[in-house]
Amino acid sequence: MTVKRMDNVGIVVESLETAISFFAELGLELEGRATIEGEWAGRVTGVRDQRVEIAMMRTPDGHSRLELSRFLAPPVVADHRNAPVNALGYLRVMFTVEDIDDTVARLRKRGAQLVGEVVKYEDAYRLCYIRGPEGLLIGLAQELG
């Protein structure tokens, strides 16, 4: 076996505070914050002279993390936040929640918008996509039964 686990998913944002608040409302816990810079960081990412504020958010089960990044330098070069669900590339993160209706209602108070509607998939799940802060696409799934 090559992969031991998935460590984290990275999301670049304009407002770190807004993203932290949103994902905390979803149930993730702020694990830590740091500023990443230096020659070594550019060697890893291929982006020279970078200076990035990051916040690591941990899921309640402790198994998954979101790395939220706000680039201070160099400037952001592309914006995929409003891409439709059939766009190429990484697009969304999906979370399993206890109560999808309650979660959507709480996140709407933080500016989230339902993309389509909450639907039932067989007798297994209720599912939906929402647009969170800055247009980020997030999937929600409620296990049934």
Predicted TM-score of the model (pTM): 0.90
Contact, 127 vs 140, CB < 8 A?
A: yes
Q: Judge whether 9-73 and 92-143 match in fold.
A: yes
Model pLDDT, residue 89: 82
Model pLDDT, residue 13: 95
- Digit-coded pLDDT (tens) for 98-116: 999 999 999 999 999 999 9
| 92-143 placed in CATH 3.10.180.10 | yes
| Token pair for 55 | 């916040």
Percent of the chain with pLDDT over 70: 100
- CATH architecture of the domain covering 9-73: Roll (3.10)
- Give which of 28, 99, 96, 100 is closest to 67, Cα–Cα: 28
- Digit-coded pLDDT (tens) for 8-51: 999 999 999 999 999 999 999 999 999 999 899 888 888 999 99
Model pLDDT, residue 119: 97
Q: Cα–Cα distance between 53 and 10 in angstroms, integer?
A: 12
Domain boundaries, the chain: 9-73, 92-143
| Token pair for 41 | 């960081």
Contact, 138 vs 92, CB < 8 A?
A: yes
In the structure, what pLDDT confidence band is assigned to residue 91 with cuts at 50, 70 and 90?
confident
Tell me the average pLDDT across 75-79: 88
pLDDT at 1 over 80: no
Model pLDDT, residue 140: 96
Element (H, E) at 117: none
What phi and psi, each to the nearest 5 degrees, are found at residue 11?
-130, 125
| Token pair for 136 | 């980020």
